Amino acid sequence: MLIFALRRLLLAVPLLLFASFLVFAIVTAFPGDPCREKLGPRSNPEALQTCRTNLNLDGSFPERYGNFMGGLVQGDLGEDIHTGEPVGREIWLRFPATVELALFALLLAFILGSWIGTKSALRPGSWIDALGQLVSLGGVSIPVFWLGMLMIALFGVKLGWLPFSGWSGDEIGPGIDYATGFYFTESLVRLEFGAVWNALRHLLLPAVALATIPLATITRMTRSAVLEEVSKDYVTTAHAKGVPQRQVMRKHVRRNALIPVITITGLQLGTLLSGAVLTETVFSWQGMGTYMMASVKARSYPAIMGCMLLFVLIFVLVNLLVDLLYHWIDPRMRGTS
């Protein structure tokens, strides 16, 4: 297992290098002038030229990419063109909010999707099967931002049940001195149950909106995997020996069906990270999604590249974790590591 993990980590290095080149090439090809966005449309040519020189926008592509990689190796992502703050610091302040939202949405999608998918496979043609098909179709058909606005209008504005904006320490746990931006996790560790409840209420609407697409995918995959497993000979043999249905499901069917479900769940993290940009914008969530959207509007190339590279790094690490879980669950794969 350790050798397999080291091999995958080594293979991730050229992938990240290629991703950095691709991100840099795409972002620097964006139309617009960052200096004109920063200084305004009426700025004089001398100020514009000085700004471009200071930001190294006049250099050749290899020179600019070399400077970018040199800073990246040292952990320096540059400065936000619009605010002048270090990009690494800006990302670090917003990173916990996006992580907690994405993980909560992924957990919600996995629990509901695996349950609905399993029940749908065991009772084809029933109401739970119809619910599973509705979830699968609706999750991939309804845009996240539109669903988010509907939820805000209904549960936030009309009924007033749940908050629909804001994610700060003062809103989650007034009077609590948080050491990190992980407000839900830190409140749970500190056993501040009032703050935990506030965090859950703030998380629910954006997490449900964000979880719809992975929920649909996990539901379909679980249903398909369970249907395939229950039709195999070992299940028929177990039933013929008088093994109870619940024991067959728990010890055999669910474990075997879990392998493709875990794989597809890890891949859904990319969907969550991309969907977080729209979801955070709709719910005014102070995470990386809103920061990236503001950076795109301001043509802040270092901020855009920093966010995109962090998304790529998270996606690569999560897929490595999924591969390790795959080897742990499936004994047949352990001999290949």
Going 247 to 251 to 257 to 261, the CA torsion angle's sign is positive
State the pLDDT at residue 287. 84
Choose the weakest-confidence range: 84-93, 145-154, 235-244. 235-244
Structure confidence by residue, pLDDT tens digits, 79-93 = 887 777 888 888 888
Quick one: which H or E segment has residue 110? helix 87-122
> Is residue 107 in some structural domain?
yes
- DSSP string computed for 150-219: HHIIIIIIIS--S--S---HHHHSTT---SSS-HHHHHHHTT-HHHHHHHHHHHHHHHHHHHHHHHHHHH
Q: Is 48 inside any structural domain?
A: no
**What does the pLDDT look like over 58-80, one tens digit per residue?**
777 888 888 888 888 887 887 88
Compare 334 and 124 and report the one with higher pLDDT: 124
On average, the pLDDT of the chain sits at: 81
Please give the pLDDT value at position 61: 80
Sign of CA dihedral 153, 155, 161, 165: negative
- Kindly tell me if the per-residue pLDDT of 188 is higher than 60: yes
pLDDT of residue 238: 79
- Average pLDDT (250-260) is 77
Rounded CA separation 103/170 (Å): 22
Better pLDDT: 3 or 306: 306
Note whether residue 160 is domain-resident: yes
Domain containing 303 equals 87-336
Alpha-carbon distance values, 101 to 185, 206, 209 (Å):
11, 8, 11
Once rounded to an integer, what is the mean pLDDT over residues 85-106?
87
**What percentage of the chain has pLDDT greater than the value 90?**
1
Structure tokens at 286: 């102070």
**Does some domain include residue 32?**
no
Per DSSP, which regions of the chain are E strands?
none
The one-letter code for the residue type at 228 is: E
DSSP-assigned letter for residue 59: S
Q: How many domains does the chain have?
A: 1
Give the other-Cβ count within 10 Å of 144's Cβ: 22
When pLDDT is averaged across residues 152-168 and rounded to a whole number, the result is 85
Q: Where do we find the tokens 């609706």?
A: 138
Q: What is the pLDDT of residue 333?
A: 57
CATH number for the domain that contains residue 328? 1.10.3720.10
Q: Examine residue 44 and state whether it is found in any structural domain, yes or no.
A: no
pLDDT of residue 329: 65
If you average pLDDT over residues 212-235, what whole number do you get? Answer: 84
- The answer on pLDDT for 196 being more than 60 is yes
CA distance 158 to 334: 54
CB 230 within 8 Å of CB 122: yes
pLDDT given for residue 330 in this prediction: 63
In a domain, 74, yes or no: no
Angstrom distance (rounded) from CA 112 to CA 140: 16
Query: The tokens of 329 are what?
Result: 């669950």
Summarised one tens digit per residue, pLDDT across range 23-54 is 888 887 777 777 777 777 777 777 777 877 77
pLDDT tens for each residue of 264-293: 887 777 667 766 788 888 888 888 888 888
* Average pLDDT of the residues in 225-247: 80
**314 assigned to some structural domain:** yes
Q: Does 249 score more than 70 pLDDT? A: yes
Contact 263, 334 (CB under 8 A): no
Is the pLDDT at 123 greater than 80? The verdict is yes
Alpha-carbon distances, residue 103 vs 16, 97, 118, 219, 237 (angstroms): 23, 10, 22, 18, 39
- Do 145 and 282 form a contact (C-beta atoms < 8 A)? yes
DSSP bridge partners of 79: 86
How many helices (DSSP H) and strands (DSSP E) are in the chain? 15, 0
- Band of residue 332 on the pLDDT scale cut at 50, 70, 90: low
pLDDT at 25: 86
Tokens of 312: 């790529």
Highest mean pLDDT among 14-18, 36-40, 198-202, 280-284: 198-202
How much is the pLDDT for 337? 52
Q: Within a domain: residue 263? A: yes
